[in-house]
Amino acid sequence: MPNYHTQMELNNDPDQLAIFELTNKKIDQPNYSNWIREKREYGKRKWNKPINRNKRRIAILKKQLGYNK
């Protein structure tokens, strides 16, 4: 969803609105469940990376010492 200023520009210029709709396609209702499933799978792949032990140990130490505030 574009911000308010972009929406006003798109409403005033139908050519830009058509280009915007072609480049940013809306989600079709029948394919919505498939779209959600794909996004969830991507999120699982993205965040299920193994964490390096050394980085984890350093992060815990920084948190204990108060460097993350």
Contact 16, 9 (CB under 8 A): yes
What was the pLDDT predicted at 22? 81
Pick 61 or 50 by higher pLDDT: 61
Contact between 11 and 5 (Cβ < 8 Å): no
Average pLDDT over residues 21-48: 71
Mean of per-residue pLDDT scores for the chain: 77
Q: If you average pLDDT over residues 8-22, what whole number do you get?
A: 83
Could you tell me the pLDDT band of residue 66, with boundaries at 50, 70 and 90? confident
- Domain definitions of the chain by residue range: 4-65
